[in-house]
């Protein structure tokens, strides 16, 4: 029996895939639990329509993410930290501190989306990458200065 998967099922396929499964598996498990739909002409057209809508929303979100990345490119943050000899700061600059500084600039970025290859432990200028969208990376300039 051919069915359209409504969600990702391990060892079977991803959402929207049309797969051929045993009749009993489809009738007794996939269809009653709402994990799949029979692959009828009506359901195939419905799937195609949903995929077009999802693609439209994905493109729209990616466009907004690119705008956000362009805004981030214009931002320059200054973070004040206590520092000792040779410009080594006490502790390090964390993604949470960068997210807070961005929030003060009017940009809402989750700290988990801030990508730092290594912790910032010295005074100076740094370029920090921010994951705005799965396909779009932004960059912000960070100045770490002595308090």
Q: Note down the domain range covering 21.
A: 2-62
Residue 69 shares a structural domain with residue 139 = yes
Domain limit, last residue, from 35, 62, 89 = 62
pLDDT over 90 (residue 66):
yes
Residue 14 shares a structural domain with residue 42 = yes
Domain limit, last residue, from 11, 42, 62 = 62
Confidence of residue 126 (pLDDT cuts 50, 70, 90): very high
Residue 75 shares a structural domain with residue 141 = yes
CB contact at 8 A, 52 and 35: no
Residue 121 shares a structural domain with residue 91 = yes
Average pLDDT over residues 78-100: 92
Q: What is the pLDDT of residue 147?
A: 86
pLDDT over 90 (residue 85):
no
Residue 117 shares a structural domain with residue 48 = no
Residue 93 shares a structural domain with residue 53 = no
Token pair for 65 = 């993410």
Mean pLDDT, the chain, integer: 92
β-pairing verdict for 114-115 and 124-133: antiparallel
Q: What is the pLDDT of residue 31?
A: 94
pTM over 0.85: no
* Cα–Cα distance, 144 to 71 (Å, whole number): 21
H or E segment to which residue 80 belongs:
strand 76-81
Residue 87 shares a structural domain with residue 134 = yes
Average pLDDT over residues 85-100: 92
Residue 70 shares a structural domain with residue 119 = yes
Based on the structure, what is the number of domains in the chain?
A: 2
Q: What is the pLDDT of residue 139?
A: 94
* Cα–Cα distance, 101 to 105 (Å, whole number): 7
Q: For residue 87, give the DSSP letter.
A: G
* Cα–Cα distance, 117 to 113 (Å, whole number): 13
Average pLDDT over residues 40-56: 92
Segment 9-18, tens digit of pLDDT: 989 999 889 9
Domain limit, last residue, from 45, 62, 79 = 62
């Amino acid at each position: 029996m051919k069915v359209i998967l409504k969600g990702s099922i391990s060892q079977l396929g991803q959402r929207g895939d049309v797969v051929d499964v045993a009749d009993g598996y489809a009738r007794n498990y996939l269809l009653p639990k709402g994990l799949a739909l029979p692959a009828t002409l009506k359901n195939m057209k419905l799937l195609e329509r949903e995929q077009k809508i999802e693609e439209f929303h994905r493109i729209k979100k990616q466009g907004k993410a690119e705008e956000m990345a362009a805004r981030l490119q214009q931002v320059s943050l200054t973070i004040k930290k206590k520092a000792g000899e040779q410009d080594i700061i006490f502790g390090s600059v964390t993604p949470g501190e960068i997210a807070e500084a961005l929030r003060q600039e009017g940009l809402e970025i989750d700290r988990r989306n801030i990508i730092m290859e290594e912790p910032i432990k010295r005074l100076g200028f740094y370029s920090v990458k921010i994951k705005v969208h799965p396909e779009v990376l932004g960059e912000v300039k960070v100045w770490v200065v002595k308090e």
